[in-house]
Amino acid sequence: MKRAGLLVAVATAAAIGLSGCGGGADGASAAGTELTIQASPVADYAALYVGIEQGMFAAQGLNVKSSVGQSGAATVAAVMSGEIAVGGSAVVPLINASARNVPVRLVAPAGTSADGDKDYIGLVVAPDSKVAGPADLTNANVAVNGLKSFLELVTRKAIDTAGGKSEGTKFLDMPNSEMQRAVQRGQVDAAVMNEPFLSQAKSAGLKVIGFPNKAVSKDLLVSGYFVSEQYAKQNPQVIQKLQTAFAAAQDYANEHPDEVRKILETNSKVAKGSLQQVQLPRYVKNIDKSVLDDTITTMKQYGFIEKPVKADDFLLGAS
């Protein structure tokens, strides 16, 4: 998420005077508690779509509908205003929000990095590029889907860990859908891509030179589901049911990867069969507080946050 975008989200919540509310269009009905969960239709949030289609939410008395957020800032603003109850976001924007006294609460994990070359976030260069690894990206132009974002953070750490100097690297904000073409045309030296864009780039002949997540943690929690602090306090039973449903959906997603790919095809509206080779994240059931602390430490290292923050400040149900 861009820092400016986060400030917009904070300002929006404050301006309408509803920061922390969780009502909005959600409420009780004959079908159970109605909830709207906003997230991008990408691999991180497969459990959301699995939970809807396989009945995990319904089994808990929750009538869940999904909506697509235009950006992390927009999702934070929507949750904090009470427009929606639950949002899906990368953890970096949530840590940023907490550091700025926006009362977000992380309630369940979404995507976690996979091991080795099976991870779903990779550094990509042109096939004839002389860039052989992250260290070679010193003084390079690198495309990311948002400045001061999760992808910028892990890439900076990967460059420095490999012996390069990320302070000389220029990060360029670019939509995922435009990165492949930018690399092919030489407009950028590299791009940090997640699935399904990573597999598409590999199919087009682009070269993967590294997987940056592991520079921060081998079990890096990339994303999760969050609510406002007030919603969590006012609806503890709903939160418990959500966590139970998400745990079951995460388990199902791990055990049925081919079905997850089909569900993602439907919800991301891509061509049938185009996601068969997509690498999926791991879907864990519990949030490891120590992994979040690793991310916070890295954010402090690179100036992503100014105010000290702890995982306990924004996390519900840490292990």
| Rounded CA separation 74/55 (Å) | 28
pLDDT tens digits for 114-128? 877 789 999 999 999
Residue 171: pLDDT above 90? yes
What are 54's two structure tokens?
Answer: 């396989």
Residue 137: pLDDT above 60? yes
**Nearest residue to 100 via CA among 67, 152, 148:** 148
| Rounded CA separation 131/136 (Å) | 5
Determine which of 1-10, 49-58, 215-224, 304-313 has the lowest per-residue pLDDT on average. 1-10
Asked whether 62 and 68 are in contact (CB, 8 A), the reply is no
At residue 38, the pLDDT reads 95
**Residue 271: pLDDT band by 50, 70, 90 thresholds?**
low
At residue 13, the pLDDT reads 39
Determine which of 8-17, 55-64, 195-204 has the lowest per-residue pLDDT on average. 8-17
At residue 173, the pLDDT reads 93
| Rounded CA separation 175/81 (Å) | 26
The neighbour count for residue 231, using CB atoms within 10 Å, is: 27
Residue 196, preceding peptide bond in cis (omega within 30° of 0) = yes
| Rounded CA separation 169/304 (Å) | 16
What percent of the chain has a predicted confidence (pLDDT) above 70?
87
pLDDT tens digits for 84-96? 999 999 999 999 9
At residue 34, the pLDDT reads 93
**Residue 14: pLDDT band by 50, 70, 90 thresholds?**
very low
Which pTM was predicted? 0.84
At residue 244, the pLDDT reads 97
Residue 15: pLDDT above 70? no
**Residue 28: pLDDT band by 50, 70, 90 thresholds?**
low
At residue 264, the pLDDT reads 84
**Residue 176: pLDDT band by 50, 70, 90 thresholds?**
confident
DSSP conformation letters of 134-190:
GGGGTT-EEEESSTTSHHHHHHHHHHHHTT--GGGPEEEE--HHHHHHHHHTTSSSE
Burial (Cβ within 10 Å: 0-12, 13-18, ≥19) of residue 148:
buried
| Rounded CA separation 2/129 (Å) | 29
| Rounded CA separation 74/65 (Å) | 18
Give the strands of the sheet with 207-210, arranged side by side.
Answer: 170-173, 141-144, 190-194, 121-125, 207-210
36 SS3 class: strand
Residue 25: pLDDT above 70? no
What are 189's two structure tokens?
Answer: 């030296």
| Rounded CA separation 64/37 (Å) | 7
Residue 7: pLDDT above 50? no
What are 280's two structure tokens?
Answer: 């999926």
DSSP conformation letters of 55-108:
THHHHTTEEEEEE--SSHHHHHHHHHHTS-SEEEEEHHHHHHHHHTT--EEEEE
The whole-number average pLDDT for the span 197-220 is: 92
Residue 291: pLDDT above 80? yes
The whole-number average pLDDT for the span 125-149 is: 95
Determine which of 42-46, 122-126, 189-193, 220-224 has the lowest per-residue pLDDT on average. 42-46
What percent of the chain has a predicted confidence (pLDDT) above 90?
69
Which of the given ranges, 136-145, 191-200, 267-276, has the highest pLDDT on average?
A: 136-145
β-sheet bridge partners, residue 287: 318
